[in-house]
Amino acid sequence: GAVVSQHPSRVICKSGTSVKIECRSLDFQATTMFWYRQFPKQSLMLMATSNEGSKATYEQGVEKDKFLINHASLTLSTLTVTSAHPEDSSFYICSASPISGDRDTQYFGPGTRLTVL
């Protein structure tokens, strides 16, 4: 089955530093990947849609200068949380849909727990 990985799975950083989270589709190609954020006891919130070869599309209220997204290839998207602050502490999840085959299904990564001290 299609597998999406995320790295790191857990990161703790100091306030003011930047953190990069990688999302990879391991056995399929995806022109579009999605980044979600999940606060404790709340639902997944779509942050942005990452498009290979073009700029990401951000949801309303999401600061694009703070959450930098780069979709470098058909198998890799990165989310960089710049100048992280404690309120950015959250669970970040990416998903991807295959270019071919089961395009309607999103495959989710295991998530990255970010803790900003």
Least Cβ distance, residue 41 to other proteins (angstroms): 8
Which residues fall within 8 angstroms of residue 34, CB to CB, at 6 or more apart? 46, 48, 49, 50, 94, 95, 96, 106
Interacting residues with other proteins (CB under 8 A): 34, 36, 42-46, 49, 93, 95, 104-106, 108-111
Least Cβ distance, residue 28 to other proteins (angstroms): 15
Give the tokens for residue 43: 């639902």
Q: Which is nearer to other proteins, 29 or 42 (CB)?
A: 42
Least Cβ distance, residue 110 to other proteins (angstroms): 5
Q: Which is nearer to other proteins, 17 or 42 (CB)?
A: 42
DSSP 60-79: TT--TTTEEEEEEETTEEEE
